[in-house]
Copies of this chain bind each other. A is one copy, B any other.
Amino acid sequence: MAAVTAPKQDRSRATRQRLLEAAVACLAEHGWAGSTVAVVAERAGVSRGAAQHHFPTREDLFTAAVEYVAEERSQALRALPRRDRHEAVAALVDLYTGPLFRAALHLWVAASDEAQLRDRVTELEARVGRESHRIAVELLGADESRPGVRETVQGLLDMARGLGLATLLTDDRARRERVVAQWARLVNEELA
């Protein structure tokens, strides 16, 4: 952790927040290489100097952005409504098609080549992954003591990731819904 300063100022906190939000938005829209500190700062409505004040280096900025994304995704996860299994599967998949996942995807790919980011990303992603699994089990009413159930849920989440990856290029919602419907059926039978 770099920031030893506890943010007491409201304006400072707001600026920092806007920078992180802008960083995530830029990641989702322009990707890693396109998310220059100048671009992020402009989108946040502050100067590059301000950005540098809060995050001395570009790496600091996106390291913080990684944690921000992880926290946001975690919140989105906990906010899922609990309904029947089909709705649960659809809701889980939807989490992997939004801008947050898009930003996370760019971060993953970028982190796979930047040694510094990789550790942070893998660690946080493992945390979010475990939380996703836990919540998925809960939403689906799965009994993990039964053999195979754990792997069934994991595979379902991996499928959701794959669908999100496919959505990156072409947002074929119709196909997605058909696959979700069928896999919800499969999972439902397996968990019954």
* A contacts, CB < 8 Å to B: 29-34, 105-106, 108-113, 118, 121-122, 125-126, 148, 151-152, 154-166, 168-170, 175, 178-179, 181-183, 185-186, 190
- With A and B bound together, what is the CA distance between A31 and B45 in angstroms? 30
Q: How far apart are A169's CB and chain B's nearest CB, in angstroms?
A: 5
Q: With A and B bound together, what is the CA distance between A122 and B166 in angstroms?
A: 10
Copies in the complex: 2
Tell me the bound Cα distance from A106 to B156 in angstroms.
Answer: 24
Overall SS of chain A's interface: helix
Indicate if the CB atoms of B169 and A34 lie closer than 8 Å.
no
Of B106, B152, B182, the contact of A183 (CB 8 Å cutoff): B152
Q: Are B151 and A183 in contact (CB under 8 A)?
A: yes
State whether B170 touches A122 (Cβ < 8 A): yes
State how many angstroms separate the Cβ of A119 from the closest Cβ of chain B: 10
With a CB–CB cut-off of 8 A, which chain B residues contact A164?
162
Beta-carbon contact of A190 and B186 below 8 Å? yes
